[in-house]
């Protein structure tokens, strides 16, 4: 008989929210340090905005909102049984819940084009909804944390996004490897083996190198219709190793006949040089030719972030795209973006136990309630602490001390303040350290000093 929530959705309690806020606040503050401005778009978009943007499968995974009022509208009994589900959906629903932040952002840019300053650096941290089959780590409601720059072709944007990634994970204390590649290099590879049409197959196959090993990758390439000779030509590329500059030199030779490929090399080299010249990255950055990512969407640099100390998929990703807003009638706008995977970052921080102390402690001090006169004595003290930024609670009910202490323990409140007749007479309080059990009698001034320093 207990009430529940829809499958694939979650409640976030106090401890989880403190952690999630820490993640979002950290990302938010780094984004704004780099001049990105936050925007928010409505949870509901017109279905005409959303449909057809995520493929046929995506259309099915959109949550649709039943029209208000008489939704039966023009659908007759014959129509009800005769029309397709798609036709009925269009008749019943005008709105849907956003599926990601990218399409609403594209819609936003086109709708507000006259007010926007280009290049436009925006970030957006909001939930999205997908009617996916729920499973471990996959939810029907989850947050995305995206930043994009649109209206600038400059590779400096790529450089800065890598710095943002590096800074965010440095602040989290998570060691990561930032993998970078370029779609133009992948296109060049397909080109030089004379099988430009097979670029999708090639990329899908070599993307699996880590998982299935070289032999199986080669088998998949052959199965996809790549000739034996071309599979051989691909070997030095697939097995490419060494430093980033070694890889760049090798690839510059391999791709000498592909203008596109060389352009990709040049772009990656620029980004790496700018980052390395500065010596500003704390994490490793690695040119990884097997990195593919959402093949149809990206057109230039692509990146992905792996945690070094936890086995988990990519925790951040992004890249350059050329035509974000074309579908809404505004062609030729280039952009580049990243997206932090908040749920996975949450898991990594949990596994490595990296949350700072202030995230673990909600209320810092609780005042025990012995009755009305004690409460009157304590109220100004509580107020003093709060004025000094100390998160304080006074237990609201005059109940047994044991119950109050249990409450403080269960909430992991580190300090408890007690005041009875003795303290009231001497204008003091007793401060109890809930970890050590130590008790000290202090003046109000001493209490403030002690807790402000704690």
**Interface mask (CB under 8 A) for a second copy, residues 323-342, using x and -?**
-----xx-------------
Of residues 162-191, those binding a second copy (CB under 8 A): 163, 167
The reply on whether position 122 binds a second copy by CB under 8 A is: yes
Kindly report the backbone phi and psi dihedral angles of residue 415, in degrees, each rounded to the nearest multiple of 5, phi listed first.
Answer: -130, 145
Closest to a second copy by CB, 206 or 365? 365
Of residues 126-155, those binding a second copy (CB under 8 A): 127, 129, 131, 140-141, 149, 152-154
Q: Pick the stretch among 65-73, 195-203, 250-258, 343-351 that binds a second copy (CB under 8 A).
A: 65-73
Nearest to 339 by CA among 137, 135, 124: 124
Of residues 280-319, those binding a second copy (CB under 8 A): 280
Measured distance CA(39)–CA(177) in Å, rounded? 29
- CB-based contacts of 134, cutoff 8 Å, min separation 6: 7, 8, 140
Minimum distance of a second copy from residue 396's CB (angstroms): 4
DSSP-assigned letter for residue 372: H
Nearest to 263 by CA among 187, 172, 348: 187
Closest to a second copy by CB, 116 or 209? 116
Looking at 328-371, list the stretches that DSSP marks H as alpha helix, in order from N- to C-terminal side.
342-352, 357-360
Assess contact for 268 and 287: CB atoms under 8 A. yes
Assess contact for 346 and 315: CB atoms under 8 A. no
Of residues 382-411, those binding a second copy (CB under 8 A): 383, 386, 389-394, 396-398, 407, 410-411
The reply on whether position 100 binds a second copy by CB under 8 A is: no
The reply on whether position 26 binds a second copy by CB under 8 A is: no
Measured distance CA(180)–CA(290) in Å, rounded? 10
Minimum distance of a second copy from residue 64's CB (angstroms): 4
Q: Pick the stretch among 29-37, 226-234, 287-295, 342-350 that binds a second copy (CB under 8 A).
A: 29-37
Residue 390, by phi and psi: left (phi above 0), alpha (psi -120 to 50) or beta?
Answer: beta
Give the residue, chosen from 87, 156, 246, 445, that forms a contact with a second copy under the rule CB under 8 A: 156
Closest to a second copy by CB, 106 or 291? 106
**Interface mask (CB under 8 A) for a second copy, residues 68-87, using x and -?**
x-xxx--xxxx-xx---x--
Closest to a second copy by CB, 117 or 296? 117
Nearest to 233 by CA among 184, 192, 196, 262: 192
The reply on whether position 95 binds a second copy by CB under 8 A is: yes
Q: Pick the stretch among 111-119, 186-194, 309-317, 348-356 that binds a second copy (CB under 8 A).
A: 111-119
Give the residue, chosen from 24, 51, 54, 93, that forms a contact with a second copy under the rule CB under 8 A: 93
Kindly report the backbone phi and psi dihedral angles of residue 134, in degrees, each rounded to the nearest multiple of 5, phi listed first.
Answer: -65, 140
Q: Pick the stretch among 15-23, 200-208, 286-294, 344-352 that binds a second copy (CB under 8 A).
A: 15-23
Helix, strand or coil for residue 443?
Answer: strand
Nearest to 427 by CA among 380, 366, 369: 380
Q: Pick the stretch among 94-102, 186-194, 251-259, 440-448 that binds a second copy (CB under 8 A).
A: 94-102
Give the residue, chosen from 43, 51, 222, 442, that forms a contact with a second copy under the rule CB under 8 A: 43
The DSSP bridge pattern shows strands 44-46 and 301-307 to be unpaired
Minimum distance of a second copy from residue 168's CB (angstroms): 12
Of residues 341-370, those binding a second copy (CB under 8 A): 362-363, 366, 369
Nearest to 351 by CA among 178, 179, 174: 174
Give the residue, chosen from 53, 91, 119, 323, that forms a contact with a second copy under the rule CB under 8 A: 119
Minimum distance of a second copy from residue 93's CB (angstroms): 6
Q: Applying CB under 8 A, what is the total number of residues that bind a second copy?
A: 109
Measured distance CA(232)–CA(193) in Å, rounded? 10
Give the residue, chosen from 60, 138, 360, 427, that forms a contact with a second copy under the rule CB under 8 A: 60
Give the residue, chosen from 59, 121, 238, 333, that forms a contact with a second copy under the rule CB under 8 A: 121
Minimum distance of a second copy from residue 329's CB (angstroms): 6
Assess contact for 283 and 175: CB atoms under 8 A. yes
The reply on whether position 380 binds a second copy by CB under 8 A is: yes
- Strand ranges (E), 330-438: 335-340, 365-367, 392-394, 415-418, 428-433
Q: What is the largest CA-CA distance in the chain?
A: 94
The reply on whether position 435 binds a second copy by CB under 8 A is: no
Sheet with 428-433: list strands edge to edge. Answer: 392-394, 365-367, 415-418, 428-433, 439-443
Nearest to 391 by CA among 414, 363, 415: 363
Residue 225, by phi and psi: left (phi above 0), alpha (psi -120 to 50) or beta?
Answer: left
Of residues 208-267, those binding a second copy (CB under 8 A): none
Minimum distance of a second copy from residue 235's CB (angstroms): 36
Q: Pick the stretch among 117-125, 222-230, 261-269, 343-351 that binds a second copy (CB under 8 A).
A: 117-125
Assess contact for 391 and 452: CB atoms under 8 A. no
Alpha-carbon radius of gyration of the chain: 29
């Amino acid at each position: 008989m207990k009430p529940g929530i829809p499958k694939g959705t979650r409640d976030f309690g106090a401890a989880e929210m403190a952690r999630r806020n820490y993640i979002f606040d950290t990302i938010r503050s780094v984004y704004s340090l780099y001049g990105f401005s936050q925007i928010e778009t409505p949870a509901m978009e017109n279905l005409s905005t959303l449909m057809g943007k995520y493929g046929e499968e995506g259309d099915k995974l959109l949550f649709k909102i039943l029209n208000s009022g008489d939704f039966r509208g023009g659908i007759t009994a014959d129509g009800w049984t005769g029309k397709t589900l798609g036709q009925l959906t269009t008749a019943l629903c005008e709105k849907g819940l956003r599926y990601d932040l990218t399409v609403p952002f594209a819609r936003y840019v086109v709708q507000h084009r006259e007010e926007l300053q280009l290049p436009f650096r925006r970030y957006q941290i909001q939930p999205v909804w997908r009617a996916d089959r729920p499973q471990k780590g996959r939810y029907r409601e989850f947050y995305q944390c995206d930043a994009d720059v649109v209206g600038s072709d400059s590779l400096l944007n790529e450089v800065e996004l890598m710095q943002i990634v590096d800074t965010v994970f440095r602040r989290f204390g998570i060691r990561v490897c930032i993998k970078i590649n370029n779609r133009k290099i992948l296109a060049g590879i397909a080109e030089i083996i004379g099988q430009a049409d097979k670029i999708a197959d090639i990329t899908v196959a070599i993307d699996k190198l880590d998982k299935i090993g070289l032999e199986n990758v080669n088998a998949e390439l052959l199965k996809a219709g790549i000739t034996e000779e071309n599979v051989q030509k691909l070997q030095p590329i697939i097995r490419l190793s060494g430093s980033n500059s070694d890889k760049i030199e090798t690839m510059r030779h391999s791709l000498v006949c592909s203008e596109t490929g060389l352009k990709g090399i040049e772009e990656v080299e620029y980004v790496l040089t700018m980052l390395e010249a500065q010596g500003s990255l704390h994490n490793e950055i690695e040119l990884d030719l097997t990195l593919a990512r959402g093949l149809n969407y990206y057109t230039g640099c692509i990146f992905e972030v792996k945690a070094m100390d936890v086995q988990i998929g990519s925790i951040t990703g992004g890249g350059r795209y050329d035509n974000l807003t074309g579908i809404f009638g505004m062609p030729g706008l280039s952009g580049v973006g990243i997206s932090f995977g908040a749920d996975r970052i949450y898991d990594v921080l949990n596994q490595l136990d990296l949350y700072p102390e202030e995230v673990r402690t909600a209320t810092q001090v609780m005042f025990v309630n012995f009755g009305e006169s004690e409460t009157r004595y304590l109220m100004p003290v509580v107020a003093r602490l709060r004025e000094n930024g100390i998160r304080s609670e006074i237990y609201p009910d005059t109940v047994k001390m044991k119950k109050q202490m249990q409450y403080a323990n269960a909430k992991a409140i580190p300090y408890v303040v007690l005041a009875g007749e003795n303290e009231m007479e001497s204008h003091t309080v007793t401060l109890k350290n809930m970890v050590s059990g130590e008790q000290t009698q202090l003046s109000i001034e001493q209490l403030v000093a002690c807790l402000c320093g704690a």
